[in-house]
């Protein structure tokens, strides 16, 4: 059977042969054995729902074995034999183009070159799943292949509940991931309900099919590193020869060395997993690979002496690097961390002092002992950072829950007021005030033709739009506009594509609309194939996350999630092709609600209309909320938008004089 026939078949009519896992696969860690005997039976019963009765006896044994060996039932036997990658849109069997575009995006998220643990359907972040198992994948692709322009597929945490009649203007797919009754949102709840097969952790762009490889994050990371250097260096001084020390070369963290190179500094990135480090090195995302501490020290000293711009991957534990650099008195200008501390107990963070293999053994065999090791390591980690900070290092939390987990571990990380952390997060200091509050966020697009020439054309279109816009832009956003023009000019040269022909570009509401509108016109003119637009959830409006995206909201509302919910509902009736809303992602299960959208630009008038209404709301919803929280930059942006758009009427805050509050209580 060819690719199309296999998609149309869905769950095969004949039981496929059992196959071994590929020997070189980067496997997800074994998950916690958390289910009781009855619950294990329930997990098997749940899994067998996807298959005809006559297979049950055989599959029950197999799934029980998977549950025992991996802590989850992935149904590996049903992984299709065809190569999964972002095939051009015309290669999918589909009755409607929007559905074919969604298939392309799903396949990209599961591509071996893109996904972190493709066998387990995990795209990034250690647990960011597209589906819980291969049966869900097969069924979803089949539904998409039969869907018309007047149906909507509703997906519950990877499970395709079914196609429901809707309308041309409705989203084709509505995705929820990990949505729980709030009291059941603790990390162990994820372990349990995921093992039962009734929920999953969709991260941000994994379960919403909008992941575009580490490029998606390179741009944001570049902006962050560049602006962090601007914060600490005298005006005009170059970051060349100055050190940025961090950890993680995984899904998103793998973007750090590249961002460091673009920002023009020395990046040292520790990574305990040799496979992850080697993958990034082979992909050309990091310049040098070192597995020995003495060689690292030598190479770094040399780079400093020569004022180099270079990125170095160190295979080892980040805590060892912080400590050794203190002993060697190597000055670190910028420090951060991108280990997966949103899942500290299941392999997101590897403790110092024990081997990678030993950690993996403890995770499954002695989770309590592992937890203690992680917490002790975090205390040591923070102590070493504090030493560097006292010498002048600027450390910022990279939204991976480092400060949160370090504080929970009792590390010396709290400010004097015992409420705040000693260090700011990158959103509090940099991305929030400089980008999100003005509406700048990680807009992205994918060329569904799969043709690199289309990507070149879209880069050029986006650059032309921005260059026209900058001439009219107020001084408050000139720097952001300039950074983005440089980014898009160099994007091709920086060889950012892994997987689909995609591009990320930070842009504000006006920029996103104008760029997308120009794309739609180019599609209509036959200059390029259809384009999918979307964004990371990590954005102005999509995400309520008190320690990350909304950490610079200071009116007390950062622990609410109204903005993300309004965003997904608002986008869905304004014309998104698909929408998603997730619990978890980035900082952890129960710690964030985040949403996103995808939209197909097929060159039609209808697409132009949908675009206008949806992009406007998608960005300005968040600016309105940020301005209500009294954020100066957002107040500026929303007032400007109201001048431009008379039908927009946003409630503005009245600012209170501090003196009025002084002796009240
Ligand atoms: N860049 C951003 O803007 C940004 C945005 C969102 C999230 N984050 C957060 O960053 C974290 C990382 O994301 P990811 O997708 O790269 O996850 P990932 O799990 O793919 O990568 C993390 C890597 O850290 C390594 N690691 C763990 N402990 C280590 C240690 N002690 N020393 C050295 N290496 C260690 C792991 O082996 C893994 O490869 C997540 O918590 C994510 O939410 C970053």
Residue-wise pLDDT tens digits, 57-94: 999 999 999 999 999 999 999 999 999 999 999 999 99
Query: How far is it, in rounded angstroms, from Cα 124 to Cα 280?
Result: 14
How far is the centre of ligand 1, averaged over its atoms, from the C-alpha of 125 (Å)? Answer: 6
How far is the centre of ligand 1, averaged over its atoms, from the C-alpha of 582 (Å)? Answer: 19
Q: What ligand 1 atom has the least distance to the C-alpha of 126?
A: 19
Cβ of residue 441 lying under 6 Å from some atom of ligand 1: no
* 3-class DSSP string for 487-533: HHHHCCCCCCCCCCCEEEEEECHHHHHHHHHHHHHHHHCCCCCCEEE
From 121-125, 193-197, 585-589, the region with the lowest mean pLDDT: 585-589
Query: How far is it, in rounded angstroms, from Cα 27 to Cα 169?
Result: 40
Contact between 523 and 530 (Cβ < 8 Å): yes
pLDDT in tens, 302-344: 999 999 999 999 999 999 999 999 999 999 999 999 999 988 9
What is the best residue among 27, 28, 125 to mutate for testing ligand 1's pocket, by most ligand atoms within 8 Å of CB?
125
Cβ of residue 246 lying under 6 Å from some atom of ligand 1: no
Cβ of residue 543 lying under 6 Å from some atom of ligand 1: no
Q: Looking at residues 133-151, what average pLDDT do you find?
A: 98
Which residues partner with 443 through β-bridges? 505, 535
Task: With a cut of 80, say whether residue 131 has pLDDT above it.
Answer: yes
Task: With a cut of 80, say whether residue 165 has pLDDT above it.
Answer: yes
3-state SS assignment for residue 412: coil
Q: What ligand 1 atom has the least distance to the C-alpha of 377?
A: 31
Contact between 285 and 291 (Cβ < 8 Å): no
Q: Looking at residues 491-517, what average pLDDT do you find?
A: 95
Cβ of residue 339 lying under 6 Å from some atom of ligand 1: yes
Q: Looking at residues 259-275, what average pLDDT do you find?
A: 95
Query: How far is it, in rounded angstroms, from Cα 54 to Cα 43?
Result: 18
Cβ of residue 506 lying under 6 Å from some atom of ligand 1: no
**Is the Cα dihedral 177, 181, 182, 188 positive or negative?**
negative
**Is the Cα dihedral 335, 339, 344, 347 positive or negative?**
negative
How far is the centre of ligand 1, averaged over its atoms, from the C-alpha of 251 (Å)? Answer: 7
Query: How far is it, in rounded angstroms, from Cα 89 to Cα 464?
Result: 27
What is the best residue among 114, 204, 253, 404 to mutate for testing ligand 1's pocket, by most ligand atoms within 8 Å of CB?
253
Count of other CB atoms within 10 angstroms of residue 69: 10
Cβ of residue 611 lying under 6 Å from some atom of ligand 1: no
Cβ of residue 224 lying under 6 Å from some atom of ligand 1: no
Cβ of residue 134 lying under 6 Å from some atom of ligand 1: no
Count of other CB atoms within 10 angstroms of residue 660: 8
Q: What ligand 1 atom has the least distance to the C-alpha of 256?
A: 1
Q: What ligand 1 atom has the least distance to the C-alpha of 253?
A: 16
Unique residue bearing structure tokens 């920029």: 511
Burial of 293 (0-12, 13-18, 19+ CB in 10 A): middle
Cβ of residue 268 lying under 6 Å from some atom of ligand 1: no
What is the best residue among 120, 216, 248 to mutate for testing ligand 1's pocket, by most ligand atoms within 8 Å of CB?
248
Q: Looking at residues 104-129, what average pLDDT do you find?
A: 95
Query: How far is it, in rounded angstroms, from Cα 194 to Cα 365?
Result: 19
Cβ of residue 317 lying under 6 Å from some atom of ligand 1: yes
Average pLDDT over the chain, rounded to whole?
Answer: 96
How far is the centre of ligand 1, averaged over its atoms, from the C-alpha of 642 (Å)? Answer: 39
How far is the centre of ligand 1, averaged over its atoms, from the C-alpha of 577 (Å)? Answer: 30
Q: What ligand 1 atom has the least distance to the C-alpha of 128?
A: 15
List the one residue out of 249, 259, 253 whose CA is nearest residue 227.
259
Pairing of strands 266-271, 243-247: parallel
Task: With a cut of 80, say whether residue 586 has pLDDT above it.
Answer: no
Confidence of residue 252 (pLDDT cuts 50, 70, 90): confident
How far is the centre of ligand 1, averaged over its atoms, from the C-alpha of 572 (Å)? Answer: 31
Task: With a cut of 90, say whether residue 544 has pLDDT above it.
Answer: yes
Tokens of 550: 């909304």
How far is the centre of ligand 1, averaged over its atoms, from the C-alpha of 419 (Å)? Answer: 26
Cβ of residue 442 lying under 6 Å from some atom of ligand 1: no
* Cβ within 8 Å of residue 580, ≥6 positions away: 174, 175, 176, 177, 202, 207, 208, 209, 568, 595, 596, 597
Task: With a cut of 80, say whether residue 434 has pLDDT above it.
Answer: yes
Confidence of residue 214 (pLDDT cuts 50, 70, 90): confident
Query: How far is it, in rounded angstroms, from Cα 119 to Cα 112?
Result: 9
* 3-class DSSP string for 349-384: CCCCCCCHHHHHHHHHHCHHHHHHHHHHHHHHHHHH
Confidence of residue 236 (pLDDT cuts 50, 70, 90): confident
How far is the centre of ligand 1, averaged over its atoms, from the C-alpha of 134 (Å)? Answer: 25
Confidence of residue 495 (pLDDT cuts 50, 70, 90): confident
Tokens of 266: 């020395």
Which residues partner with 310 through β-bridges? 266
Tokens of 561: 């999630």
Cβ of residue 341 lying under 6 Å from some atom of ligand 1: yes
> Is this model's pTM higher than 0.85 or not?
yes
Q: Given this model, what pLDDT does residue 500 score?
A: 97
Query: How far is it, in rounded angstroms, from Cα 480 to Cα 328?
Result: 37
pLDDT in tens, 592-630: 999 999 999 999 999 999 999 999 999 999 999 999 999
Q: What ligand 1 atom has the least distance to the C-alpha of 203?
A: 43
Cβ of residue 251 lying under 6 Å from some atom of ligand 1: yes
pLDDT in tens, 435-455: 999 999 999 999 999 999 999
Confidence of residue 419 (pLDDT cuts 50, 70, 90): confident
- Ligand 1, atom 23: closest residue by C-alpha: 248
From 162-171, 224-233, 441-450, the region with the lowest mean pLDDT: 224-233
Cβ of residue 271 lying under 6 Å from some atom of ligand 1: yes
How far is the centre of ligand 1, averaged over its atoms, from the C-alpha of 535 (Å)? Answer: 20
Burial of 182 (0-12, 13-18, 19+ CB in 10 A): exposed
What is the best residue among 279, 318, 339 to mutate for testing ligand 1's pocket, by most ligand atoms within 8 Å of CB?
339
> How many percent of the chain have pLDDT more than 90?
91
Query: How far is it, in rounded angstroms, from Cα 655 to Cα 343?
Result: 39
Cβ of residue 340 lying under 6 Å from some atom of ligand 1: yes
Angle between helices 605-628 and 562-573 (to 10 degrees): 160
Task: With a cut of 90, say whether residue 534 has pLDDT above it.
Answer: yes
* Cβ within 8 Å of residue 28, ≥6 positions away: 70, 116, 117, 119, 120, 122, 126, 127, 347
Cβ of residue 364 lying under 6 Å from some atom of ligand 1: no
Rg of the chain taking only CA atoms, in angstroms: 24
**Is the Cα dihedral 605, 610, 615, 620 positive or negative?**
positive
Q: Given this model, what pLDDT does residue 183 score?
A: 96
Count of other CB atoms within 10 angstroms of residue 494: 16
Long-range contacts of residues 360-367, Cβ cutoff 8 Å, at least 24 apart: 360/29, 360/30, 363/29, 363/30, 363/32, 364/29, 364/30, 364/31, 364/32, 364/33, 364/71, 367/32
Q: Given this model, what pLDDT does residue 325 score?
A: 98
Cβ of residue 155 lying under 6 Å from some atom of ligand 1: no
Contact between 119 and 336 (Cβ < 8 Å): no
Task: With a cut of 90, say whether residue 550 has pLDDT above it.
Answer: yes
Query: How far is it, in rounded angstroms, from Cα 385 to Cα 135?
Result: 46
Cβ of residue 125 lying under 6 Å from some atom of ligand 1: yes
């Amino acid at each position: 059977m060819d690719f199309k026939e296999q998609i149309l078949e869905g769950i095969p009519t004949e039981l496929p042969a059992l196959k071994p896992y590929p020997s070189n696969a980067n496997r997800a860690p074994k998950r916690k054995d958390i289910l009781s005997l009855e619950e294990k039976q329930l997990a098997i019963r749940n899994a067998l729902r996807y298959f005809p009765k006559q297979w049950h006896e055989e599959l029950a044994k197999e799934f029980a074995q998977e549950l025992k060996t991996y802590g989850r039932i992935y149904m590996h036997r049903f992984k299709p034999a065809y190569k999964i990658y972002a095939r051009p849109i015309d290669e999918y069997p589909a009755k409607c183009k929007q559905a074919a575009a969604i298939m392309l995006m799903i396949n990209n998220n599961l591509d071996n070159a893109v996904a972190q643990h493709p066998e387990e359907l995990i795209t990034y972040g250690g647990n960011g799943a597209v589906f819980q198992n291969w049966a869900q994948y097969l069924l979803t692709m089949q539904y998409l292949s039969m869907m018309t322009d007047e149906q909507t597929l509703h997906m519950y945490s990877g499970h395709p509940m079914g196609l429901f009649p809707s309308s041309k203007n409705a989203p084709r797919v509505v995705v929820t991931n990990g949505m729980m009754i709030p009291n059941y949102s603790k990390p162990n709840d994820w372990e349990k309900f995921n093992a039962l097969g009734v929920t999953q952790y969709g991260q941000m762009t994994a379960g919403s099919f909008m992941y575009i490889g580490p490029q998606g994050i390179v741009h944001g990371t570049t902006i962050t590193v560049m602006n962090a250097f601007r914060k600490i260096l005298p005006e005009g001084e170059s970051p060349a020869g100055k050190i940025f020390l961090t950890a993680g070369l995984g899904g998103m963290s793998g973007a750090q060395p590249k961002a460091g190179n673009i920002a023009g500094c020395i990046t040292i990135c520790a990574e305990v997993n040799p496979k992850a480090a080697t993958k990034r090195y082979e992909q050309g995302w990091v310049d040098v690979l070192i597995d020995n501490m003495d060689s690292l020290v030598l190479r770094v000293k040399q780079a400093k002496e020569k004022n180099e711009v270079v990125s170095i991957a160190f295979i080892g534990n980040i805590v060892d690097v912080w400590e050794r650099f203190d002993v060697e008195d190597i000055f670190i200008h910028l420090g951060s961390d991108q280990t997966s501390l949103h899942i500290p107990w299941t392999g997101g963070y590897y403790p110092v002092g024990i081997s990678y293999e030993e950690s993996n053994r403890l995770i499954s065999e002695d989770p309590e002992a592992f937890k203690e090791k992680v917490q002790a390591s975090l205390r040591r980690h923070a102590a070493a950072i504090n030493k560097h900070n006292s010498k002048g290092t600027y450390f910022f939390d990279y939204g991976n829950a480092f400060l949160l987990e370090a504080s929970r571990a009792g590390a010396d990380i709290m400010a004097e007021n015992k409420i705040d952390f000693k260090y700011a997060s990158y959103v509090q200091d940099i991305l929030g005030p400089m980008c999100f509050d003005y509406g700048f966020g990680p807009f992205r697009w994918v060329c569904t033709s799969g043709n690199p020439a289309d990507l070149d054309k879209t880069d050029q279109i986006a650059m032309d739009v921005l260059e026209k816009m900058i001439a009219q832009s107020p001084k408050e956003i000139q720097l952001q506009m300039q950074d983005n023009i440089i980014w898009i000019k160099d994007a091709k040269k920086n060889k950012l594509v892994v997987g689909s022909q995609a591009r990320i570009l930070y842009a504000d509401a006006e920029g996103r609309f104008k760029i997308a509108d120009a794309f739609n016109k180019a599609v209509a003119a036959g200059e390029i194939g259809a384009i999918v637009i979307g964004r990371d959830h990590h954005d102005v409006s999509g995400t309520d996350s008190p320690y990350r995206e909304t950490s610079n909201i200071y009116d007390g509302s950062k622990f609410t999630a109204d903005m993300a919910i309004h965003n997904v509902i608002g986008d869905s009736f304004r014309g998104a092709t698909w929408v998603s809303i997730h619990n978890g992602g980035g900082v952890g299960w129960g710690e964030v609600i985040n949403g996103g959208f995808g939209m197909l630009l097929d060159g039609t008038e209808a697409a132009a209309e949908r675009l206008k209404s949806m992009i406007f709301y998608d960005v300005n919803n968040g600016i309105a909320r940020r301005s209500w929280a009294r954020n100066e930059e957002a107040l500026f942006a929303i007032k400007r938008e109201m001048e431009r758009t008379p039908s927009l009427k946003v409630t503005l805050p009245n600012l209170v004089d501090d003196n009025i509050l002084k002796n009240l209580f």
